[in-house]
Amino acid sequence: MPGRPSDPLWHAVSTFGLDFVHLPPGAAASRGAPVSPQTDPGISSVRRAMSDLAAEVAGCRACRLAETRKLPVFGEGNPDSGVVFVGEGPGQTEDETGRPFVGRAGQLLDRILASIDLDRTCCYIANAVKCRPPGNRVPLPDEMEACGWILERQLEIISPGVIVALGASAASALLGSRASIAQLRVGWHSRGEASLMVTYHPSAVLRTPALKRPVWEDMKKLRSRLNEIGLPRRSGNG
């Protein structure tokens, strides 16, 4: 079904920067009724575990990035959703606010999520490293290694059904692969019980608008997979 101005998702898709889309069957699946934290006993334990870990990370000085960061950026969203997006590391705005993906790339990520009927209340967003590399450089291997346990622990707590790696650093952290995004985005990967997709980082899309089309193709595949396995779980609040 081609996207048209009357389609429910059309506005979000058009802000993503495309003028024609073909949504997979069931792409606009109805949102499940929200589950109250008071009536879902699973929520509090997951959120408590995540909160405890965030408190632990707040004081982390295990690598040189602690010397120049303003705030560590732990991650945010819905840890009960079963869906996790992983980026590279905080930029300037994230470093100043302590929140992931809130600069220009984050605004684009929000539009990408909206284009497939997701938002920050129905996925979790984190980075491979939790502190800003100076000048937004790529995290160094020893920094990735020092920080890796935090992402691992987050994934253990969340136990996601689907992980999306945004860019090469996330793919390296999650798959241990240095292959190109063009190679890794072909097909799904497995990571534990989760299906893992690799796509371009929103910053790369901002630099190279031609990447909008492959990212949109990836998002259609993601939407189809989520529909197949009944994710995200839309319980709780971010």
Residues that bind ligand SF4 (CB under 6 A): 57, 60-63, 65-66, 72, 129-131, 143, 146-147, 150
Nearer to ligand SF4 among residue 131 and residue 164 (C-beta): 131
Residue 153: CB minimum distance to ligand SF4, A = 11
What DSSP string describes 61-110? -SSGGGGT-SS----EE-TTSSEEEEES---HHHHHHS-SS-SHHHHHHH
| CB 150 to ligand SF4: min, Å | 6
What is the distance between the alpha carbons of residues 126 and 128, in angstroms, rounded to a whole number? 7
Identity of the residue, 64 or 191, whose beta carbon is nearer to ligand SF4 in the bound complex = 64
Contacts 24+ apart (CB under 8 A), 148-155: 148/173, 150/53, 150/57, 150/60, 150/74, 151/86, 151/126, 151/127, 153/53, 154/50, 154/53, 154/75, 154/79, 154/84, 154/124, 154/126, 155/84, 155/192, 155/194
At its nearest, how many Å lie between ligand SF4 and the CB of residue 57? Answer: 5
Distance of closest approach, residue 133 Cβ to ligand SF4, in angstroms? 8
Indicate the residue among 23 and 125 with the shorter CB distance to ligand SF4.
Answer: 125
Tokens representing 233? 């779980």
Tokens representing 38?
Answer: 């008071």
Smallest gap, in angstroms, from Cβ of residue 130 to ligand SF4? 4
**CB nearer to ligand SF4: pick between 130 and 185:** 130
Question: CB-wise, 75 or 82, nearer to ligand SF4?
Answer: 75
